[in-house]
Structure 1
Amino acid sequence: MRITRVLGGALLALGLAAGPAVADSPSPSASGDGSDGKAPTQAGTSFRTATEIEQGEQATASGSTGDYLYWSFPADTGQRPTVRATVKLPDTHGAQTWRLDVYDGLRRRQSCQYGADSRTTARGASSVELACVLRTVRGWSEPWANDPLPGTYYVRLTVADLGSADLGLPVSAEVRVDSKDIGGAAAVDGSLGKPLVPGIAVKSAAEKDGSKTAVLSSFGSDDGWSSGWWSDRWVWTAIGAALAALAGIGGYTLTRGSGRPSRVPPNA
């Protein structure tokens, strides 16, 4: 049983050591609820001019029906982003269909795991609410796949169907992005060389030759992304291996007996 005590102590030490490592994984998720008064109050009109928002901020913008409103936000490995948008409509209007689309850093449209990303409002409705829960962001993917990868994501909000009389009416929108940390359950064996942040590859090349090149997004510093080989899946794998070893030792101890025969034969 001495071996059992040694393995138990090692398992406890492994758990204590792994706790801070998991907690210290950097993430570009944002600061609180955006109550510092610095949340954006306008939206971009294209991918290139998308307004940057952080997770946890509630951005607002004013526009007109028929406009395309764009925001961008960062999402890292293991996060499952949820994008919510509320559009406040004018007092008088006809039936309208609003749509919320999310694109990754390569401008590939990402499908919603669940949520109402398109809704039709009744005549005279005061507002419409949209939501899109994306798939969990992966650290690596096949080139042909459309899996969400770490980097910049774009939100596009627009009206998809309306009567000609409602075109150009003033509206206001609220957008918020939150994420649930899925952790090692979504970990894969691989990582990107760089997150999908527009301009980051150009910036890296420019830093080597000393030139100055504009970067389309400011998300993600050199140490601001947690993509890599480490995840808490390694911790659970080590714990499972240690428990399997303990079970093997316990089973062997129970089945081998005392090591002496139950009956001593008489002396010949």
Structure 2
Amino acid sequence: MRTVRILTTAVLAGAGLLGLAGGAQADSATPSPSASGSAEAAGPTEAGTSFRTATAVKPDQPATADASTGDYLYWVLPVDVAQRATVNAKVTLPPAASRHGAATWRLDVYDGLRRHQACRYGAQSRTAAADAGAVELSCTLRTVRSWAEPWANDPLPGSYYVRLTVVDLPQEDLGQPVHAEVEASVADQGGAQAVDGALAAPLVPGAGSATAKADGAGSSPRPAAAAEPDGGWSSGRWNDRWLWTAAGGALAALAGIAGYRATRGSGRPARIPPGA
């Protein structure tokens, strides 16, 4: 009976720790209420034309822009450790009667060091037929790491720049009006994606960031920076891997105690039958 009680206690303790891990992850994924109201929820209605003028957006915040065919459109958003970002874009094209052929549009994403980040999957580039009314693009990035080797091109926490533009079309169609819609979402991949080590600061252009220190003390304007994620930057200091590790250690210790009690016996000498 004692062994059964110990095993029951071990299971309940492990379930409690794992529930705490799930609760912590759910709390971190739950967005906090926005203080800026419906105006912020509506999102920006214009885009920048370079890295330095990129329009800041938050994850799950739609952004729109009216532009001319051939313009480079830029937005910037924050992506933190253990998050996987997906960017979706839709371009509403000019009337088919005013176009002279097919057009190829492309969606690119760059990190805070302006390194081009490859898409794991998604239609990063698409060609719209001459009679198409719109073209939709998508790019899902690799999971952001807290640290990487200097020679690696791993995605790191910080600002991520989204660029949308047309890359191939008839010359006569340049300058025609288009309407762009962009929305980025981030999914928390949890501590399973965590690695040892962490950056001293996220790759966010501005005071105190790695890119700002590299720029020096010059007076030239810095690239636009995205706002911090809800709750601030984690920088890899804490993740649910710690809770899973603690839960595993507690279960192993309790299992060891239970096994010891089950195998050591009662500790009393066996009774010798009379007349033996």
C-alpha distance 21-124 of structure 1, shift in aligned 2 (>3 A)? closer
Residue 177 of structure 1 deviates from its aligned partner by: 0.7
Q: How many Å separate the matches in 2 of 1:142 and 1:29?
A: 34
The aligned counterpart of 1:126 is 133
The structure 2 residue matched to 1:62, chosen from 57, 62, 66, is 66
CA deviation after TM superposition for structure 1 residue 158, in Å: 0.6
Post-superposition shift, 1:24? 6.3
Unaligned runs of 5+ residues in structure 2 are 214-218
The within-5 A match list for 1:202-221 is: 216=223, 217=225, 219-220=227-228
**Residues 101-133 of structure 1: CA distance to partner in whole angstroms, max 9, x if unpaired?**
000000000111111111111121000000111
Q: Does the 8 A contact of 2:113 with 2:211 survive in 1? A: no
Structure-2 residue corresponding to 1:250 = 258
How far has the Cα of 1:12 moved from its partner?
A: 7.0
Structure 1 equivalent of residue 90 of structure 2: 86
* Aligned match of 1:52: 56
Alignment RMSD = 3.6
1:95 aligns with 2:99: no
Tell whether 2:46 aligns with 1:42: yes
Range that drifts further, 104-113 or 179-188: 179-188
Give percent identity, aligned residues only.
Answer: 59
Which residue number corresponds to residue 190 of structure 1?
197
CA distance in 1, matches of 2:124, 2:193: 24
Matched residues, number: 262
Query: Would the aligned equivalents of 2:112 and 2:211 in 1 still touch at CA under 8 Å?
Result: no
- Letter of the aligned partner of 1:170 in structure 2? P
Alignment of 1:103-142 (within 5 A): 103-142=110-149
Any conservation in 2 of the 1:80–1:136 contact (CA below 8 Å)? yes
Q: 2:244 matched to 1:236?
A: yes
Are 2:79 and 1:75 equivalent residues in the alignment?
Answer: yes
Distance of aligned partners of 1:205 and 1:125 in 2 relative to their CA distance in 1, 3 Å threshold? closer
Partner of 1:209: none
Residue 125 to residue 177, structure 1, CA distance change in 2 (3 Å):
same
Q: What one-letter code is carried by the residue in structure 2 that aligns with 1:200?
A: A
Q: 1:262, CA displacement in angstroms?
A: 6.3
> TM-score with structure 1 length normalisation?
0.82
Contact 2:206 2:212 in 1 (8 A): no
The answer to whether the Cα contact below 8 Å between 2:201 and 2:209 also exists between their aligned partners in 1 is: no
Q: Secondary structure at the match of 1:198?
A: coil
- 8 Å Cα contact 1:191-1:228 kept in structure 2: yes
Cα deviation, residue 266, structure 1: 7.1
Unpaired segments ≥5 residues, structure 1 = 207-211
Using CA pairs below 8 Å that are at least 6 residues apart, which structure has the higher relative contact order?
A: 2
TM-superposed CA distance for 1:64, in Å, is 1.4
**Cα distance in structure 2, aligned partners of 1:169 and 1:124:** 15
Report the TM-score, using the length of structure 2 for normalisation.
0.80
Shift in Å, 1:192: 1.0
1:14 is displaced (CA, Å) by: 5.2
Q: State the one-letter code of the partner of 2:39.
A: D
